[in-house]
Amino acid sequence: MNYKSKTIATWLALLLGSLGLHRIYLFGPGDRLAWLHPLPTLLGLYGIQRMDLLGQDDRLSWLLMPLLGLMLVNAMICGIVYGLTPDEQWDARHNPGLPPRQTGWAAVIGVITCVMVGGICLMTTIAFSAQRYFENQVTVTDTPNK
């Protein structure tokens, strides 16, 4: 059995978590939840590309883009949970039977970065979605009845 590092799991969640690589690291390639991560992430990226090509009035792009934000927020939450899990509990869950190891400052720095990136992603996703929703409401109510 291989040792599962809390620091590596935290940083994988930060850097590539929206694609599910932190779950593959912890639970192996057979983890079904890990394979649910890439599709919404790629759809969100497609929404960004579509908005870049077709402009801000493309409704499909503004429906797809929040998926990317939500997947990034999900990954940051996982990174925060991994990094803040006590070493004893981490070893009992992911490294049973192996000698315990102490986690250094790298996991703490990863958690701080996850909080910053996750907060930015969450605020951006909420602001973008709310803006598009209210812009759509204004255009619907401003059209004159004939």
pLDDT at 141 over 90: no
The domain of 79 spans 8-92+103-142
pLDDT at 72 over 90: yes
Would you state the pLDDT for residue 145?
A: 63
Per the CB < 8 A criterion, the answer to whether 14 and 117 are in contact is: yes
Please tell me the total count of domains within the chain: 1
Q: Which pTM does this prediction carry?
A: 0.87
* Region label for 4, one of left (φ > 0), alpha (ψ between -120 and 50) or beta (otherwise): beta
Residue 134 within any structural domain of the chain: yes
Residue 61 within any structural domain of the chain: yes
Residue 37 within any structural domain of the chain: yes
Contacts of 104 (CB under 8 A, 6+ apart): 7
- pLDDT tens for residues 79-96? 999 999 999 999 999 999
Token pair in block for residue 119: 């907060």
Pairwise pLDDT comparison (129 vs 72), residue with the higher score: 72
Pairwise pLDDT comparison (99 vs 77), residue with the higher score: 77
Residue 57 within any structural domain of the chain: yes
Residue 70 within any structural domain of the chain: yes
